[in-house]
Amino acid sequence: MEALDFALGLFDILLVFLVLSLAWLVMSSEDLFRAIVLFVAFGLLMALVWVRLEAPDIALAEAAIGAGLTGALMMAALDRLSSVKPIQKVAASAQRKQLSLSSKVLPLIALVLIVLGLGYALLSLPEIADGLTPNVKENMAQSGVKNPVTAVLLNFRGYDTLLEMVVLLLALLSVWSLGGERKLSPRSTNPILGSLCRVLVPVLILVSCYLLWVGADAPGGAFQAGSVLGAAGVLLLLSGWHVEQKYLLWPLRFILILGSGVFIIMAAVLLLIQGGLLTYPVAQAGWMILLLESAATLSIGATLAALFLGGVPKSRVDQ
């Protein structure tokens, strides 16, 4: 047993060392592409850290969003940055010349103060604290699901998830208001990409449904399922998936607001009937949460794919 603990200890130390050095390299990298690759690697290792901290739910979310989609999203952003790159380089070199002593010392003092404050806060925490775990355990029977994380996210603190859905929608709206119109890319003639899509997209959709369903009693749920669905969308966009203009107008907008919409309607109805925001009747809680999560999954998937496109989608064929 002792040897096992030793091996796990070594694993943790190496992991912490790698995560910290990657974080430093991401921040200090001047080459933006290198920074993206390092950030993806950082996301992978963060997922391993969450696994070691026995938080598989967060590990799953980190794997889906941090290590998976963020890389593709950042790559798309870098693509569009290439037109403004020269300005950025000039600004960076000008900044370096102007760095005086006080502009180096002041951040250092601020950093030391933050570290001291955080350290104090951390050390003043009680050593053993149950937090809200007993509360959650007591009320699990009324939540309608078996996974405590899903119970907290969709039932006990459902309004958190409601607001998160609105945040995603706002992010997309700001991208659309800045990005202008984006034509879908032409159909790829690459046979490898075509066959990869044919194999991978159905699997991604299947895994997304699985994650949504399993969220009721194991790690999983709408955000993880939605980002896997979003990845399927990104793959289709990359391979030049043809969508007719008529589907890009109202059907797309309907799917984008479906998650927030169903959430708000459900909250309003429950407020009238039950007298509380998102307080489900115990017998119906299970399917209500499943309905909310399914709508949220579709919206998250569509939003992430639309974010990857980076503008109001427009069909290639002008009509």
- Dump the DSSP string for 4-51: HHHHHHHHHHHHHHHHHHHHHHHHH-SSHHHHHHHHHHHHHHHHHHHH
Task: Give the x-and-dash track for 235-274 against other proteins (CB under 8 A).
Answer: x--xx-----------------------------------
Residues 6+ apart with CB under 8 A from 64: 223, 224, 227, 228, 231
Task: Give the x-and-dash track for 6-25 against other proteins (CB under 8 A).
Answer: -xx-xx--xx-xx--xx--x
Q: Please calculate the CA angle 170-175-181 and round it to the nearest 5 degrees.
A: 130
Interface with other proteins by CB under 8 A: which range of 96-104, 229-237, 274-282, 309-317? 229-237
Distance CA 256, CA 297 (A): 10
Q: Which residues pair with 313 in a beta bridge?
A: 182
Our finding on whether 304 is near other proteins (CB under 8 A) is no
Our finding on whether 82 is near other proteins (CB under 8 A) is yes
Our finding on whether 207 is near other proteins (CB under 8 A) is yes
Q: Which residues pair with 312 in a beta bridge?
A: 181
Contact 256, 172 (CB under 8 A): yes
Between 28 and 93, name the residue whose CB sits nearer to other proteins.
Answer: 28
- The residues that touch other proteins, with contacts defined as CB under 8 A, are 3-4, 7-8, 10-11, 14-15, 17-18, 21-22, 25, 33-34, 37-38, 40-41, 44-45, 47-48, 51, 56-57, 59-60, 63-64, 67-69, 71-72, 75-76, 78-79, 82, 193, 196, 200, 203-204, 207, 211, 214, 218-220, 224, 228, 231, 234-235, 238-239
